Structure 1
Amino acid sequence: MTFIILALVVLVAAIALALVFGGPRRPPPMPSISAPFAQVDFSDLPEQSTFRAEDGQALAYRQYRTHTDTDSGSVVLVHGSSAGSASMHPLAKAMAAAGFSVYTLDMRGHGASGRKGHIDRIGQLESDLKVFVREMCPPQPSTLVGFSAGAGFALRVAGSADQKLFDRYLLLAPFIGDQAPTQRPRNGGWAEVGVPRFLAILLLNAMGFRFANAMTVIRFALSEEAGASLTPEYDFNLASNFRPLRDYVSAIRCARQPCSVVAGLADEVFRSEQLEGIVRKAGRNWEVSLLPNIGHIQLTLEPSAIAAVVSQLHGQ
């Protein structure tokens, strides 16, 4: 009995130390992620609109209406980690010009949607997406397009029981998982995870305790200026929800809707050359397009990359 009590005391002490001292450090700014947006023309950025989530929270989105006679269906665009709907502006404009009705979201915990870096529970992002689709009724065929962490979230949806929310899925430079072959150390310098704190909260969750879920577990490589307008850190709930399921192979196998992948071979955040092998190993024949000389953010800003993404949409 004494040994059991001593072991419990040691475990509690270890968890407490990990929670207090095991958080993420702030990484130095990563210019290749933030700097390219200084050259983007945001003068024609659509005004934000809002919809009400199940809990009454107003969540923001932007709508790009097509000005062509071509009815290509709709696209719902999900931004990457720390970003918001405005980061998808060049891509959204090109998709609208190609005949798609386009919606760009501020995912809860980002931009104008709720408290930055925080969500109330794991699974809340899927609930928000279902309400958005129900309220907005995006024209069919509908495609969920995600970029980076947003692509990981799109994969999470594509492999879930809710996968028929959309007719198709397109993953751009996707975050596949922490243990996936695509992963670079520290996400190429983009993100710092407080591993001791994250593991401690994971253990607490396994025991049914959620009191530490609002603690910060990830910080992003943003400058002070960029961090003021973006989302510089995530709590445990958001970090666990805005990503694919941890068993990413099972998620790929469970996805039944058409899906394709586009990434740049010069991606400094992920090892994009590993993507096709992951998809094939999971038994899927998805088209995987790897663009030479295209980096992570360039995939959404470089005209040739945008053209390739729009072409992939038309080809699905």
Structure 2
Amino acid sequence: MKRTMTTLTVTAAFLLSLMLMAVWLGGPRPVARMDSIHQPFARADFSGLPTPSHFAARDGTALAFLRYPAIGTALNRRLVLVHGSSSRARSMHVLARALAQAGFDVVSLDMRGHGDSGPRGHIAYVGQLEDDVADFMQAQPYAGPSTLVGFSSGGGFTLRLAASAQGRLFDRYLLLSPFLHHQSPVTRPDAGGWVSVGLPRLVALNVLNTLGIASLNHLPVMRFALDAGIQSELTPSYSHTLADNFRPHMDWRADLLAAQGQLQVLAGSRDEVFIAERYADTLAQAGRPLPVTLVDGVDHIGMTLDPRGIAAVVKAAQ
């Protein structure tokens, strides 16, 4: 019996040391700049960028957003835009401006952990992002219906919210080139070179969380392919908590089946982050076929910057 206990103790100590080593040394590696993501922004027209507004979330944190009032004949529908991974509200400016010109009231959110919404790269708990959207809708009420429009990781989060208790805040959801899951048929390896995942640290933190240990969830588990010159403007890495929240749940198929409201997917045919032509079959095989629009000749970031991608989004939002 004593020998058995000794063996168990030694084994447990060995496994614990491996786990701690994975946490300490197994973080995300640096990743080279991805030009197809950065270069289009250098050519984009950011004139007329609104002054940021703020609302108070339930924890008292001031969270930022950009407001674009409808131009011309208003359509009595608000579009709430959610940016992609690492980014911020202003990255959606060109799309937001076009949607406002089409008659929509538009707001673009700095999601918590990004831009001017709290410390970048981390949030307090999984589910805080859903709470923040609910707090925005309460703090900034709108008389008509609202659509949530999410791009890339923001599109995955949009699916997550549609399946949540806050899903009734919107009656329509537009998912632009959405992230579904790292093992889904849609996702390219390393998201086409956009992201580096510290898999040893991620796995170790998941194990610790199952044991009720969450004190290390602030450590980064994802790093993005940013240009060094603009890292100060963006969010270069995600903590375990933020990475877990700014996406669908791990069982993304359950999110898809539980999602409320009307959902539609749009993506560029030349998307270099996801394999866009697989969206329709992947969603159908998951049990909920959705309308999928592929925009010919448009790449990933082009869904928010390319005139062809923007025209498709404006049409889908109507």
Counterpart contact for 2:81–2:106, Cα < 8 Å: yes
Q: Is the 8 A contact 2:89 2:115 kept in 1?
A: yes
Match of 1:297 among 298, 301, 307: 301
Among 246, 251, 254, the residue aligned to 1:247? 251
Percent sequence identity over matched residues? Answer: 46
- Equivalents in 1 of 2:38, 2:142: separation in Å? 30
2:20 maps to 1:19: no
Residue 38 of structure 2 is matched in structure 1 by: 34
Moved beyond 3 Å, runs of 4+: none
Partner residue of 2:59 out of 55, 58, 79 = 55
| 1:256, distance to aligned residue in structure 2 (A) | 2.8
Q: Identify if the C-alpha distance between structure 1 residues 73 and 139 changes in structure 2 by more than 3 Å, giving closer, same or farther.
A: farther
Structure 2 matches for 1:22-171, cutoff 5 A?
A: 22-171=26-175
Structure 1 residue corresponding to 2:198, chosen from 194, 197, 201: 194
Q: 226, 229, 245: which is aligned to 1:225? A: 229
Partner residue in 2 for 1:185: 189
User: What is the RMSD of the two structures over their aligned residues, measured on CA atoms?
Assistant: 1.0
Among 272, 283, 288, the alignment partner of 1:284 is 288
The DSSP-based 3-state class of the residue aligned with 2:312 is helix
Alignment match of 1:2 (pick from 1, 6, 17): 6
> d(CA) in 2 for partners of 1:282 and 1:42?
39
Partner SS for 2:182: coil
SS at match of 2:65: strand
The whole-number CA distance in structure 2 between the counterparts of 1:106 and 1:167 is: 22
Instruction: Check whether the contact 2:171–2:260 (CA below 8 A) recurs between aligned residues.
Output: no
Could you tell me which amino acid in structure 1 is paired with residue 23 of structure 2?
A: L
2:171 counterpart letter in structure 1: D
User: Post-superposition shift, 1:112?
Assistant: 0.4
For 1:197 and 1:89, locate their aligned partners in 2 and report how far apart those are by CA, in whole Å: 35
Q: CA deviation at 1:72?
A: 3.6
- Do the aligned partners of 2:298 and 2:308 also contact (CA within 8 Å) in 1? no
TM value normalised by structure 2: 0.97
- Is the contact made by 1:122 and 1:241 (CA closer than 8 Å) also made in structure 2? yes
CA distances 1:115-150 after superposition (whole Å, capped 9, x unpaired): 011111111111111100111113422100000000
SS at match of 2:232: helix
How far is 1:40 from its partner? 1.4
Work out whether residues 184 and 269 of structure 1, in 8 Å CA contact, stay in contact via their aligned partners in 2: yes
Matching residue's letter, 2:33: P
Cα displacement string for residues 25-81 of structure 1 (whole angstroms, at most 9, x for unaligned residues): 110000110111111121200100000111111100010001222324000000000
* Whole-Å separation in 1 of the counterparts to 2:165 and 2:143: 21
How far did residue 4 of structure 1 move?
1.4
* Residue range with higher mean Cα deviation, 259-268 or 66-75: 66-75
TM-aligned CA deviation for residue 7 of structure 1? 1.7
Give 2:227's aligned amino acid. Answer: S
- Give the residue type in structure 2 aligned to 1:204: L
Secondary structure, in 3 states, of the residue corresponding to 1:205? helix
Q: 1:285 to 1:182 in 2, by over 3 A?
A: closer
Residue in structure 2 matching 1:211, options 189, 210, 215: 215
Q: 1:4-25, CA deviations, whole angstroms, 9 ceiling, x for partnerless residues?
A: 1112101110111001110011
TM-score scaled by length of structure 1: 0.97
Q: Which runs of 5+ in 1 are unaligned?
A: none
CA contact (8 A) 2:295 2:308 kept: no
SS of residue in 2 equivalent to 1:228:
coil
